[in-house]
Amino acid sequence: MSIARILAQRNAGEIVTCDAAMPLREAVALLAEKRIGALPVMDGGRVAGIFSERDLMRRVVAAGRSPAVTKVTEVMTANPRTITPDTSVEECLFMMR
């Protein structure tokens, strides 16, 4: 089974992203509004990173950074591994291991 098929079954039409230059406070509000745990971070039409709740806790809260002045690009996980819609679930599981 492919990732595209799983997404189609879940009716996942919208992929929510944020811009690398977005203020962190806005990105956190977007996570809460959409009830999601992570956002792909876009920079010039390419995936530059991913910002997750884990990044928020470790790189912002634990580090004592201010969400009001920090940009997403400063605390995201850069250069994440990506897949295509035709990637199989088995290949994804292998990558995650």
Q: Distance between CA atoms of 82 and 27, rounded to whole angstroms?
A: 21
Asked whether residue 4 carries a pLDDT value surpassing 90, the answer given is no
Average pLDDT of span 74-89: 91
Tens digit of each residue's pLDDT (9 = 90 or more) over 62-77 = 999 999 999 999 999 9
Average pLDDT of span 2-24: 81
Residue 5: what pLDDT? 79
The SS3 assignment for 78 reads: strand
